[in-house]
Structure 1
Amino acid sequence: MPYEPDDYLSRHFQISGIDLASKVDELIQLSTPSTSANLNLYRDMLVTVIRMAQADRNRWDAKIMLQTLREMERAFSTLEQFKRRRKVTVFGSARTPANHPLYALARQLGTALARHELMVITGAGGGIMSAAHEGAGQEYSLGFNITLPFEQGANATIEGTDHLLSFHFFFLRKLFFVKEADALVLCPGGFGTLDEALEVLTLIQTGKSPLVPVVLLDRPGGSYWKEALEFIDRQLLGNGYIMPSDMHLMRLVYSADDAVEEIAQFYRNFHSSRWLKDKFVIRLHHALSDAALKRLDTDFADLCKTGGFNQQPFCEAESDEPELCELPRLAFAFNGRDHGRLRELLNAINQPSAWA
């Protein structure tokens, strides 16, 4: 949706007879390129800090805000160099020993992802995280470490490199785990892994995070995710707490190659998506055939608030992403609710038989 500037500061200080608003504008003009599309955003960031200073919040609140801003700015700056590279976040236990079958599996996963030009994001610690980075190698590894009361150094693959970020707050670390990910792979783990799994699924189910592949990876014969899915099916689905289509938001596999194939299949035709006002636009590598469009109108009519599915060219509203202008588009009035069904739609358009 269009950004609405916050005019609180100007109104407040006009009434107070203090011309602080013009000082903010002057600072923005001095520090920001005049061609920036983000002038209003930067102005309102400063306004927000000034409003907090005006209220003179307690020191703990002020330190939280300062630490948050610093960590986010540092993360944005560090990650800019990796902006055009696809990335996969891998979760799993830091306690998995190097002689465990899951450690070997995570190492194989890292190797397979790097072979497909996919960077591997982990929490930078030991266990599954270290194994995935060992397999990927430094060039294909990113680590988001967390500062804890006890010592937690980064693993040897990324220690001391510009591929490592350290966070003080878990919520910021989790934000970047999801924000940067084009796919997520979850190996068995403890409370943290389960927390990450459920939060990721909640974000995707509610549309607060873009739809990406969520792969549950276990060793052959392992029962960790199998029994977790049985619980979800019996208790959550069985009691009506989730929809049947929500089960399509994740897939259980038992090998590194199958995990990578699930990710590759997701992006076989699907490229990316965005909202343009009330239309949901899916960018494709291949246009769809007329017959496929008709099938979508029949099989996925429940996803549309009104109308049906239409293919359309690049439009002026997407001018902020000119590098994607050549891609075909599939547009429809998505109800914004049924993301499990949306995953089924993507599965359909990823089939070569649907392409023109």
Structure 2
Amino acid sequence: MPYEPNDFLSSHFNSNGLDLTRQVEAQLSLIAPNSPNLALYRDMMLTVLRMAQDDRNRWNAKITLQALRELEHAFRVLEQFKGRRKVTVFGSARTPQEHPLYGLARELGAALAQNDLMVITGAGGGIMAAAHEGAGLTHSLGFNITLPFEQHANATMEGSEQLLPFHFFFIRKLFFVKEADALVLCPGGFGTLDEALEVLTLIQTGKSPLVPVVLIDAPGGSFWQDCLDFIAKQLRDNHYILPTDLKLMRLVYNTEEAVAEINQFYANFHSSRWLKHLFVIRLRHALSDDALAQVRQRFADLCLSDTFHQHGYDGETFEEPQFSHLTRLAFTFNGRDNGRLRELVDYLNLPENWAAEAASPPASTGARPRKNAKVT
């Protein structure tokens, strides 16, 4: 359904005799007459006009301007890559080239590229440089941060149009997650741990789409295992998280397992979205009748009411002709148990649960929509 205009913004200006709403709408109609997003752009402009009217603080205005510029530039650059799956790789910028983890990250980048997956990193040194070195420029995107140190891009990304500089960490983090079809975390410092915990929090709370989160370490390494032991003892055992929240991440010790984890996640699962009160999972292959019955029994706790329903494409309901070949599994998801949702996705991805005509796994994962949108 279309975006609902912000009546407060409109009435704010009209009640003051300024009638700016109509003027803004008229200008936007000239610039983008057929855009379905006119109401959104109108409210953006009215918000800026309200800031100008209040004129409280120059610093606030500068922050808003910088944020809008960074967002617009990133949207424009990344539009050309929207049909490609991407993997965000986190890790220390200080890992030396002779360290085993550097070689592991380079192998990881090469393996992801071989599977036609783009590699996103912060474009710095260490793990980031290694992953881009392995992937090569064609399969790389760099989201660099401007800092008084460590701000220079690595050799693969330096001078490339696929390098996006960011002034604000929060906007950079937004795109690390927004663009990611999977996340791989190598050992690192405060920044890596911050990114790991923030990503897990976003997925756990449903603020970010469910994607595979892979923790990778060198054979014999204990970095992530020690972290998981702490999480299990201090967070799970003290009931600060649900036991199933640990299902949101997987620990591996080589690149083959990392890539296999990502590919397996998309073996049948394609993407998901909210459609009013329903949570809809798009599937490449329909479930067999027996598998659907098992889903209804084993995962009933995920439903607030009713049960799981499997549907073919209905243009009037879904309005997604580009995904008309996909089956839908719809249910009233409680929105909380995303660890259990990951268990459901793992069940859906097992070939033995697909209908008879879908006995073989797909040859490629294909593209998915960039937004796990909630449509109301």
Paired residue type of 1:31: I
Partner of 2:31: 31
Partner of 1:89: 88
Cα distance in 2 for partners of 1:342, 1:17 equals: 51
Partner of 1:224: 223
Deviation at 1:18, TM superposition (A): 2.0
Partner of 1:19: 19
What's the secondary structure of 1:281's corresponding residue?
A: strand
Contact 2:90 2:186 in 1 (8 A): yes
Partner of 2:187: 188
Q: Note closer, same or farther for the CA distance 1:152–1:184 as it changes in structure 2 (3 Å cut).
A: same
Deviations 1:181-206 (A, max 9, x none): 00000000000000000000000000
Paired residue type of 2:12: H
What's the secondary structure of 2:194's corresponding residue?
A: helix
Pairing 1:54-93 to 2, within 5 Å after superposition: 54-93=53-92
What's the secondary structure of 1:344's corresponding residue?
A: helix
Contact 2:268 2:349 in 1 (8 A): yes
Deviations 1:75-126 (A, max 9, x none): 0000001000000000000000000000000000000000000000000000
What's the secondary structure of 1:196's corresponding residue?
A: helix
Partner of 1:276: 275
Deviation at 1:2, TM superposition (A): 5.8
Partner of 1:314: 313
Contact 2:119 2:131 in 1 (8 A): yes
Paired residue type of 1:143: G
- Superposition TM-score, scaled by structure 2 size: 0.93
Cα distance in 1 for partners of 2:16, 2:189 equals: 54
What's the secondary structure of 1:142's corresponding residue?
A: strand
Contact 2:2 2:36 in 1 (8 A): no
Contact 2:113 2:119 in 1 (8 A): yes
Partner of 2:249: 250
Pairing 1:235-246 to 2, within 5 Å after superposition: 235-246=234-245
- Superposition TM-score, scaled by structure 1 size: 0.98
Partner of 1:125: 124
Deviation at 1:9, TM superposition (A): 3.5
Between Structure 1 and Structure 2, how many residues are aligned?
A: 354
Q: Note closer, same or farther for the CA distance 1:23–1:2 as it changes in structure 2 (3 Å cut).
A: closer
Deviations 1:264-323 (A, max 9, x none): 00000000000111111100111000000100111000000111111112232432x321
Cα distance in 2 for partners of 1:258, 1:108 equals: 12
Range with bigger deviation, 145-154 or 227-236: 145-154
1:158 and 2:147 correspond = no
Contact 2:186 2:217 in 1 (8 A): yes
Range with bigger deviation, 52-61 or 149-158: 149-158
Deviation at 1:151, TM superposition (A): 5.2
Q: Note closer, same or farther for the CA distance 1:151–1:188 as it changes in structure 2 (3 Å cut).
A: closer
Cα distance in 2 for partners of 1:20, 1:152 equals: 42
What's the secondary structure of 2:345's corresponding residue?
A: helix
What's the secondary structure of 2:281's corresponding residue?
A: strand
Cα distance in 1 for partners of 2:150, 2:92 equals: 17
Paired residue type of 2:280: V
Deviation at 1:162, TM superposition (A): 1.1
Partner of 2:370: none
Paired residue type of 2:321: P
Q: Note closer, same or farther for the CA distance 1:272–1:13 as it changes in structure 2 (3 Å cut).
A: same
Partner of 1:7: 7
Partner of 2:112: 113
Paired residue type of 1:127: G
Paired residue type of 1:254: Y
Cα distance in 2 for partners of 1:200, 1:338 equals: 16
What's the secondary structure of 1:203's corresponding residue?
A: helix
What's the secondary structure of 1:36's corresponding residue?
A: coil
Deviation at 1:23, TM superposition (A): 1.2
Partner of 2:292: 293
Cα distance in 2 for partners of 1:15, 1:298 equals: 56
Identity %: 69
The runs of 5 or more residues in structure 2 that have no matched partner are: 356-376
Deviation at 1:152, TM superposition (A): 1.6
Cα distance in 2 for partners of 1:15, 1:266 equals: 53
Cα distance in 2 for partners of 1:8, 1:53 equals: 16
Question: After TM superposition, where is structure 1 displaced by more than 3 Å over at least 4 residues in a row?
Answer: none
Deviations 1:33-90 (A, max 9, x none): x221111111111011111111103111000000000000000000001000000000
Partner of 1:172: 171
What's the secondary structure of 2:207's corresponding residue?
A: coil
The runs of 5 or more residues in structure 1 that have no matched partner are: none
Deviations 1:312-335 (A, max 9, x none): 12232432x321111111111111
